[in-house]
Amino acid sequence: MSDAAKRFGAALAEALGEGPGKGALPAQRERLLAALAARRRWSARRVAPVLAAAAILASLPVVHRLLDPSKPAVTASVDGRALASASTIEAPASSASVLDFSDGSQLVLEPKSQASVTTLTGERAHLRLQAGQLRAQIRKRTGMTWTIDAGPYAIRVVGTTFRVHWDETRGRLRVDVEEGRVQISGRGLPAPGLFVDAGGSLEQLEPRASREPAAPVPDSATEPSVGPSTPGAPPPGPAKASPTPPPDWLALAGAAKYREAVVAAEALGFEELVARLPANDLLTLANAARYSGARGRARQALRGLRQRFPGSAPARLGALALARLAEDGDKDPAAAARWLRTFLKESPTGDLAAGARADLMSLSLRLGDAAAARAVARDYLRHHPRGPHATQARELIQSTPSK
Amino acid sequence: MSALPAQRKHAQQERPAEPPQDADDLALAAALRENPTATAERIHARFAKDVNRLVWRLLGADAEHHDLVQQVFLKIIVNGRRLRDPERLSSWVQAITVNTVYEELRKRDLRRLLHRDTPTNLHPNLVRDVELRDLLLRAKAMMDKLPAKERIVFVLHHVEGRTLADVADLCGFSLATAKRRLGAANRRFERLAAGAPDLLSLFSRERDAP
């Protein structure tokens, strides 16, 4: 029958032609330019009073205090539990620990690694990686200064994503920068330190003669100590920068080769990846599985994401992806509606909320639940009064009397 | 589901680069990123034909054709500074066009759920040929019964003659998804066409006519 569809399509194309005709184009152009001119006038009228009001408000002492970034203290949680100040975190042998900071930054402490938070204010965060490896994703432009110490080295960050591996027993530091830039200073490095840019890495052996006594590491009876993650230590000496290739499956997913990415992930151990990947990579893995049609694996990755990183942005997006899987893949509108409700409960005002509410309206109508659809329509108008589906939401509310 | 808008960013970032466009397009892309509003007239002159054709085919000579074209160009200008890859200007414009029509079709899907008797309207330019108008009206009514996400893929592939890889790129989803949606659209079309066998034969005649 696709032949019939093909014939129908070709005939329809011929019948339709190329468009409404060239004669319509000048009028279209004039209308577009008029709309843009109206937009500019509207913006000028709207923005000027807002700027003036903002300037007046900002000058008021009470508002100034509210706007002062030094006031709100940043808080942290480990795997969803609040972290007390000056705490030490030890990641279990089988899974990573995730430190979420209230400014949006996130640190993933890899299995068997140990770190402590020594200072955490609204302006400064200071951590020490005692042993093992962590991946840091530091939120940009929050006005905070982040420093991560590893042995005799200090890594200063403004806003970036990078990995740190500190092998305390060999005195070896490795830093891989994924985004942004870090400044690394410490023993054996030239003052004021070395800058490493995105895509670069630094490997540095602490000069043996200057080794300090080892920082405390977990008791081997309870938590095994950490060994080097890369074989063969480089000779001591100045740091060198070199590009670091990402893991294969991630590179394949980045090149839109989703099926190959899932195969590569299976070879590494899909379950293990679900158990240890940081949140963003896990969402990428779930999406690769989703796009390649591996619905079971996608669901597994998304559920792992939501269990391991509850409340995080990727986990919230995971609910939306689960809704899509339920509707498009499983043809289960009731499950899709449940996941959409979960997503909206967790992200009531995010960028994707308007679309999710429109989908939920539509699904509720398809499920024959007009009352639920009306409730979603009211919710839609409350949150997105000028949204693209506002007209339909109003029509829906007016179509049946509310009780 | 709002799969198209949500995946647009992903598509723009992760799809492999196209072969470079000609120097005029690269200069136009640079100007658009620098000052979108001042470039509006040039953008319209360069893409009016392509955008009109795509909207016309995707919506099927719709009564609201010019409004949709206007929306597309406004989106291009408003988002001009966000164009990441100047070498993909043409693809980016087409993707915005597809996305705008998709959003419109989704609105209409929802409206149809509310008011089952929403009439199908044709653009007044087609009044000239009563027979053709009737034929297109019936074809459009059939297309209106396809859900937005299936209709977009069906029309891009069967009417516009795009490859599935091209459809996936334009819509911002994977090739597998494009194949799945086309399969679903074909099956639905089959059911609809079974109820209107005369329409298919009329279309065949229309095409065979000299």
What single-letter DSSP state applies at residue B128?
Answer: G
Average pLDDT of span B151-175: 92
Q: Is the C-alpha dihedral spanning B78, B82, B87, B91 positive or negative? A: negative
Cβ neighbours of B161 in A, within 8 Å: 9-10, 13
**Closest residue, chain B, to A354 (C-alpha):** B2
pTM: predicted TM-score of the whole model, two decimal places: 0.46
When mean pLDDT is compared across A4-18, A373-387, B150-164, the lowest value belongs to A4-18
Q: Which helix (H) or strand (E) holds A381?
A: helix A370-383
Q: For residue A212, what pLDDT band results from cuts at 50, 70 and 90?
A: very low
Strand A145-150 and strand A124-137: the pairing is parallel
Q: Do A1 and B200 touch (CB under 8 A)?
A: no
Average pLDDT of span A49-59: 59
When mean pLDDT is compared across A263-267, A289-293, B139-143, the lowest value belongs to A289-293
Average pLDDT of span B193-208: 68
What local confidence, expressed as pLDDT, does residue A257 receive? 73
- The shortest C-alpha distance from A377 to chain B (Å) reads 12
Q: Do B115 and A395 touch (CB under 8 A)?
A: yes
**Closest residue, chain B, to A322 (C-alpha):** B1
- The shortest C-alpha distance from A107 to chain B (Å) reads 24
Say which residues have a Cβ less than 8 Å from residue B108's Cβ, sequence separation at least 6. B118, B144, B148
Q: Shortest CA distance to B2 belongs to which of B93, B102, B78, B69?
A: B102
What local confidence, expressed as pLDDT, does residue B208 receive? 45
Of the partner residues A5, A15, A392, the one whose CB lies closest to the CB of residue B110: A392
Q: Do B41 and A6 touch (CB under 8 A)?
A: no
What local confidence, expressed as pLDDT, does residue B22 receive? 63
What CA dihedral angle connects A324, A330, A333 and A336, to 10 degrees? -40
Q: Is pLDDT above 60 for A63?
A: no
Average pLDDT of span A136-151: 77
Q: What is the ipTM of this complex?
A: 0.78
A272 vs A3: which has the higher pLDDT: A272
Q: Do A20 and B189 touch (CB under 8 A)?
A: no
What local confidence, expressed as pLDDT, does residue A365 receive? 86
What local confidence, expressed as pLDDT, does residue A57 receive? 58
What local confidence, expressed as pLDDT, does residue B10 receive? 38
Give the range with max mean pLDDT: A19-28, A40-49, B12-21: A19-28
- The shortest C-alpha distance from A248 to chain B (Å) reads 15
Q: Is pLDDT above 90 for B46?
A: yes
What pLDDT digit, counting tens, does each position of B57-98 carry? 998 888 788 889 999 999 999 999 888 888 889 999 999 999
B92 vs A161: which has the higher pLDDT: B92
Cβ neighbours of B186 in A, within 8 Å: 1-2, 5
Of the partner residues A7, A36, A254, the one whose CB lies closest to the CB of residue B77: A36
Q: Is pLDDT above 60 for A223?
A: no
Q: Do A11 and B207 touch (CB under 8 A)?
A: yes
Gyration radius of chain A over CA positions = 27
Cα distance between residue A30 and residue A335, in whole Å:
48
Q: For residue B181, what pLDDT band results from cuts at 50, 70 and 90?
A: very high
Q: Is pLDDT above 60 for A214?
A: no
What pLDDT digit, counting tens, does each position of B92-148 carry? 999 999 999 998 888 888 777 765 555 556 565 554 456 667 777 788 888 888 999
DSSP secondary structure of A187-218: TTSPTT-EEEETT-EEEEEPPGGGPPPPPP--
**Closest residue, chain B, to A326 (C-alpha):** B1
- The shortest C-alpha distance from B176 to chain A (Å) reads 6
A165 vs A145: which has the higher pLDDT: A165
Phi, psi of A227 (to 5 degrees): -100, 175
Q: Is pLDDT above 80 for A110?
A: yes
Mutate to test the interface with B, among A1, A3, A7, A8 (most CBs of B within 10 A): A8
- The shortest C-alpha distance from B30 to chain A (Å) reads 20
Q: For residue B1, what pLDDT band results from cuts at 50, 70 and 90?
A: very low
Q: Do A32 and B154 touch (CB under 8 A)?
A: no
Name A16's bridge partners: none
- The shortest C-alpha distance from B3 to chain A (Å) reads 8
Q: Is pLDDT above 90 for B51?
A: yes
What pLDDT digit, counting tens, does each position of A347-361 carry? 888 667 888 898 898
Q: Do B174 and A395 touch (CB under 8 A)?
A: no
State the average pLDDT for chain B. Answer: 80
Cβ neighbours of A324 in B, within 8 Å: 1, 3
Q: For residue A218, what pLDDT band results from cuts at 50, 70 and 90?
A: very low
Give the range with max mean pLDDT: A70-79, A89-98, B21-30, B52-61: B52-61
Q: Is pLDDT above 70 for A399?
A: yes
What local confidence, expressed as pLDDT, does residue A343 receive? 92
What local confidence, expressed as pLDDT, does residue B75 receive? 94
What local confidence, expressed as pLDDT, does residue B122 receive? 58
What pLDDT digit, counting tens, does each position of A298-347 carry? 999 999 999 988 888 888 889 988 998 888 777 788 999 999 999 999 98
Name A181's bridge partners: A197
What local confidence, expressed as pLDDT, does residue A163 receive? 84
**Closest residue, chain A, to B125 (C-alpha):** A20
Say which residues have a Cβ less than 8 Å from residue A160's Cβ, sequence separation at least 6. A136, A138, A140, A177, A178, A179, A180, A181, A182, A198
Q: Do A19 and B52 touch (CB under 8 A)?
A: yes
**Closest residue, chain B, to A317 (C-alpha):** B6
Of the partner residues A14, A18, A395, the one whose CB lies closest to the CB of residue B53: A18
Residues of chain B with pLDDT > 70, as a percent, come to 75
Mutate to test the interface with B, among A1, A32, A40, A339 (most CBs of B within 10 A): A32
Cβ neighbours of A40 in B, within 8 Å: 37
